[in-house]
Amino acid sequence: MLEKPFRLDGKCILVVGAGTGIGKGVALELARQGADVAISYSGSVQGAADAVEQIKGMGRRAVALQANIGLVADCRRVVDEAVKYLGGLDGLFNNAGLTFTKPFEQVSEEEFNRIYEVNIRGQFFTCQQAVPYMVKRGKELQSRYPNRPWAGGSIVNMSSVHGAAGFFGHSVYAGTKGAINAFGRELAVELCNQHIRVNVLAPGSIEVASYFKSDPNYTREMGNSMVPWGRVGLPEDVGYLATYLLSDAAEFMTGHTLYFDGGLTAKMAIDYKPPEGAR
């Protein structure tokens, strides 16, 4: 039986795409649960610096690394630099991603390529670079604690409800999320013999700063109204599930896509209003 299976004490984790929004929320929650965290960011310099300051304030180690995850060389470099700083790698949370809303007929080749480069190629090559470090980490832990079974490394790749259901203007984005789901399932099978588990986290409506920027009319009440559960999700909600998937408590879980959406994908798209007074 594992001691404190839900805690992340002593774990070294890289969160890719953590300067703002969901990634930042996840990085902070991982630190709250005891992990040392390296975060990568693209352009959110201040957001990344703020995350590092907060994590260090919790008594954990943290570093921010700038990277363009659309470039394979940067995927490899950011993993290498994270390991150099942390001293090893137990977990990888792949959050970097791009999106835009545009009718299928109007999507340009450049737009198509850019989203696939970041959303799927970025995940592929950060995972590829991370695996040998996780294997090495496992050997070190087994040597240091011969009587304690190694729970394995953990990779969590971010997808979306758009990988399961259609929505106008998301032909390119949805395609990348479907690819991430299939890639995660395949990678989980391939890495079982190396004792590294791979799961995909697919959130629905998670309120981040960009919601308010892209739609000046957006309000929390509007967000709540779109979710069957009655409230919009928040970055810390994703952090709770990410913490579980990266913890030893999830040692027997691999190859799954978890839709984390307040019932969004479970609900039929038919516009139906229940009788007044019904709940």
Reported as a single tens digit per residue, the pLDDT across 126-181 is: 999 999 999 999 999 999 999 888 999 999 999 999 998 888 889 999 999 999 99
Q: Does 196 reside within a domain?
A: yes
Mean of the pLDDT values across residues 176-188? 97
First to last CA, the chain: 42
Annotation says 173 is catalytic: yes
Of the listed ranges 63-72, 113-122, 205-214, 235-244, the least confidently predicted one is 205-214
The pTM assigned to this predicted structure is 0.93
Share of the chain above pLDDT 70, in %: 96
Q: Does 150 reside within a domain?
A: yes
Q: Does 189 reside within a domain?
A: yes
Catalytic residue selected from 159, 205, 244, 247: 159
Q: Is 4 helix (H, G, I), strand (E, B) or coil?
A: coil
Annotation says 11 is catalytic: no
Annotation says 160 is catalytic: yes
129 contacts 189 by C-beta, under 8 angstroms: no
In one letter, which amino acid is 161? V
209: left (phi over 0), alpha (psi -120 to 50) or beta: alpha
Catalytic residue selected from 42, 44, 160, 247: 160
Is the pLDDT at 86 greater than 60? The verdict is yes
Domain count for the chain, please give it.
Answer: 1
Closest CA to 95 of 32, 51, 33: 51
Structure tokens at 95: 């959050």
Q: Does 108 reside within a domain?
A: yes
Catalytic residue selected from 11, 44, 154, 177: 177
* Structural domain that includes position 113: 12-260
Q: Does 1 reside within a domain?
A: no
Of the listed ranges 83-97, 123-137, 211-225, the least confidently predicted one is 211-225
Catalytic residue selected from 116, 173, 244, 259: 173
Q: Does 75 reside within a domain?
A: yes
Annotation says 145 is catalytic: no
Q: Does 102 reside within a domain?
A: yes
Which residue, chain included where needed, has tokens 């700083």? 85
Rounded to whole angstroms, the Cα distance separating 199 from 201 reads 7
Share of the chain above pLDDT 90, in %: 80
pLDDT of residue 131: 98
Nearby residues of 99 by Cβ (< 8 Å), 6 or more positions away: 115, 170, 173
Structure tokens at 176: 């990348």
pLDDT of residue 277: 64
Q: Does 38 reside within a domain?
A: yes
Give residue 3's pLDDT band: very low, low, confident or very high (50, 70, 90): confident
| CATH code for position 182 | 3.40.50.720
- Exposed e or buried b per residue across 8-33, where buried means at least 16 C-beta atoms within 10 angstroms of its C-beta: beebbbbbbbbbbbbbbbbbbbbbbb
